[in-house]
Chains A and B, each alone.
Chain A
Amino acid sequence: MATIVLAFPGSVAWAEQPKEVRIATVAHYNGSRPSFIGSAAVIEKQGWLREELKKRGIRLVWVPVAPQSVGATINESFANHSIDFAGYGDLPSIILNAGGVETRLIVPGGRGNNVYLLVPPNSPAKSITDLKGKRIALHRGRPWEITFARLAEANGLKLTDFRIANLNPGAGAAALAAGNVDAFVTLSDAFPLVDKKIGRILWSTKTPGQDWKMRAELWGDKAFIEKYPDITQIVANAYVRAAHWVAQEENYPEFIRIAVVGGQDAEVVKREYADDSISWKARWNPVFDEFVTSHYRNAIYYSRKVNLIRNAFDESRLFEPKFVRQALKDLKLEGYWDTPAVAASTDKRGSS
């Protein structure tokens, strides 16, 4: 296997069509079987993608990735061509493309996931400015770094104004519990920590006007999508189809159920989506719009500024929007998401 990876750098080349389509996605292991979350779980549940690929004699392979090191693991897998697609974050993708391995954003993941800034329950801090000079657990190069940097910048601070401890989310939580850091930046795993009285949420991307959510979406290997545009189209259709299914209010209970099967806690998932300034439907909007473009422009600018990447580049290089356009046409969903992104009133989902 090793020799195969090394001997055929473009492992998919020279074949009329691939034998399998490999999509990396975040997974938990319960026993020996990985359980998937997010779009992958919905797509697998729908079964449409597997069926469509099977008709062409192609096998669908989900490649599980541990939550602790998604960015680095998927970047390495793209570099050695052991995957064709991956659902993962914005900043790792920017780092990968800056490093010379080319991937493209195929289907945007909507408005993104929330990022939470936790402090110990007894912390006197009232806002991020109180954390100046303090020690903060932040896994570098992960999508939420951008969010944190934007929050800092909005308050006239820089990353260097804090003592950043580069810790993965598990170690970060532990460090917060042991009182070794004064704050911890993470995703919805913040809620169990709040329940255990390890931390309280000082700030989150649910704050209206500061909804700098992190983005996780479908990326494809450039070589693959250029060689197999039709297969890529099928994959894109499956992701848009899944987004459309989730976006419908009546599927919400089922969506939660799928998340629970995937090893997530129902309450955590519900709270992640509760009290948000973004409407449920807009949250799953897969359209390439100004929101996506400006997010990446911003992220690349930031990455260059703090030396995460050596050369800045134009964000349009990352996008391949034609597949979503075609998918919306194929699924007769043109115009479905043409509604304002921000709901008139705060979405009260799950607050019951």
Chain B
Amino acid sequence: MSIPVFRWRSPHERFLFLLSPLLVIFAWVWVSRLGLFPDQILVPPQHVWEAALGLWESGELQMHLQQSLYRLVIGFSVGALLGVAFGILIGLSNTVENACSPLFHAIRQVPTVAFIPMLILVFGVEETFKIIIVAKAAFFPVALATHDAVRGIPKAYFEVARAYRLPTWLLVWRIILPSTVPPVLTGLRISLGRSWMVLVAAELLAADSGIGQMMEMGRQMFRIDIVMVGVFVTGLIGFSLDRLFRSLEGRLVKWKHQS
């Protein structure tokens, strides 16, 4: 199975790689130069750049970034770990699956953002609420991908394991984890993107720091340049996280084939 990972290719492909983003930026500069739209509608790139510099120099950008990333890392780790564990559990045990799956699927279907008002009520507006909401966003896709992957393991493996009286932890470690790596990693990558979006949304709705809050404040203050800085920064973070996971995916798949 080939996994599309972006690698730096030959020089002319590298040029092509940069072409479309460069074209978009060029179009932006050009259109704002033309003055077709007022500055408040289409903020010129240099204003966004200046706003970004200003936010950086005052340390505001770093502060918000640090807050958001902290919430993402903690929330995602908790959610993903629980998701893998739960996915394996319901993948292996019919009883547990029967007991949990109606509730699991019901909650899974409710977009995390819809829980924001309720979660605020129960956990307040402090860090707990944001970490829980990120964890919730991460948990479900990971649990689902893990479950599907475990269920996809050929029955013969389990029979062999039973025949050799393999202890459960060894079964999990030697058979289940390796054969579920690719789909679970894809689940992890997807849920990471989702967690990031949910976190930004939660920060837009209720927070006093973080990139989402910086954007919301920019919106309330009609500072579209700051909003644009936020859009770029969130995009950049999302892009970097995605690439990170893709290269991880590539490596782990290789490891799986070697072992």
The residue that B206 contacts in the complex, of A101, A163, A171, with Cβ under 8 A, is A171
Would A178 and B208 count as touching, CB distance under 8 A?
no
Size bracket, chain A contacts: 35 or more
Could you count the A-B residue pairs with CB atoms below 8 Å apart for me: how many are there? 83
* B208 and A180 within 8 A (CB): no
Cβ of B222 within 8 Å of any chain A Cβ, yes or no, is yes
Interface residues on B, range: 20 to 34
Alpha-carbon separation in the docked complex, A179 to B120 (Å): 10
Interface assignment of B221: CB less than 8 Å from any CB of chain A: yes
CA distance A242 to B15 in the complex (A): 65
Residues of A within 8 A of B (CB): 6, 9, 71-72, 75, 79-80, 92, 95-96, 98-101, 137, 139-142, 163-168, 170-171, 174-175, 177-181, 308-309
For the complex, what is the distance from the CA of A4 to the CA of B40, rounded to whole Å? 17
Question: In the bound complex, do residue A72 and residue B219 qualify as a contact, i.e. CB atoms below 8 Å apart?
Answer: yes
* Complex contacts, B206 vs chain A, CB 8 Å: 165, 167-168, 171, 175
Report whether B120 and A140 are in contact in the complex, using a CB–CB cutoff of 8 Å: no
Q: How far is the CA of A164 from the CA of B207 in the complex (A)?
A: 10
Chain A, Cβ-Cβ closest to B124: A180
Asked if B39 and A175 make an inter-chain contact with CB atoms under 8 angstroms apart, the answer reads no
Partner of A141, one of B39, B40, B220: B220
CB distance from A226 to the nearest CB of B (A): 16
The residues of B that contact A165 with a CB separation of less than 8 Å are 125, 206, 208
**Complex: A141 Cα to B221 Cα, angstroms:** 6
Flag whether B106 is at the interface (Cβ < 8 A).
no
In the complex the two chains form, is B120's CB within 8 Å of A175's CB?
yes
Q: Are A178 and B40 in contact (CB under 8 A)?
A: no
Distance in angstroms from B13 CB to nearest chain A CB is 34
- For residue A28, give the distance in angstroms from its CB to the closest CB of chain B: 17
Interchain CA distance A88-B224 in the complex, whole Å: 20
Q: Report yes or no: B120 in contact with A79, Cβ–Cβ below 8 A.
A: no
Residue of B nearest to A5 (CB): B41
Also in contact, A79 and B41, with CB within 8 A (given A141-B220, A167-B125): yes
Please tell me if the beta carbons of A171 and B221 are within 8 angstroms of each other in the complex: no
Given A72-B220, A180-B126, 19 further pairs, Cβ under 8 A: A72-B222, A100-B39, A101-B38, A137-B125, A140-B221, A165-B125, A166-B216, A166-B217, A167-B125, A170-B117, A171-B120, A171-B125, A171-B205, A174-B117, A174-B125, A178-B122, A178-B123, A308-B221, A309-B221
What residues on A are CB-neighbors of B222 within 8 Å? Answer: 72, 75, 79, 92, 95-96, 98-99, 101
Contact A71 B117 (CB under 8 A): no
Given contacts A95-B222, A166-B213, A180-B126, contact A100 B40 (CB under 8 A): yes
Collect the chain A residues with CB atoms within 8 Å of residue B38's CB. Answer: 9, 79, 100-101
- Chain B residue with Cβ nearest A170: B117
Distance between B153 CB and nearest chain A CB, rounded to angstroms:
44
Max chain A CB contacts within 10 Å: which of B39, B123, B126, B220? Answer: B220
Give the distance in Å from the alpha carbon of A178 to the alpha carbon of B129 in the complex.
11
Report whether A181 and B125 are in contact in the complex, using a CB–CB cutoff of 8 Å: yes
Residues 177-236 (chain B) with a chain A CB within 8 angstroms:
205-208, 213, 216-217, 219-223
**Interfacial chain B residues near A171, Cβ < 8 Å:** 117, 120, 125, 205-206
Asked if B19 is an interface residue, CB under 8 A from chain A, the answer is no
**Chain A residue at smallest Cβ distance from B223:** A99
25 contacts between A and B (CB under 8 A): A6-B41, A9-B37, A72-B222, A95-B220, A95-B222, A99-B40, A137-B125, A140-B217, A164-B208, A165-B208, A166-B208, A166-B220, A167-B125, A167-B206, A168-B205, A168-B206, A171-B117, A174-B117, A174-B120, A174-B125, A175-B125, A178-B121, A178-B122, A178-B125, A180-B124
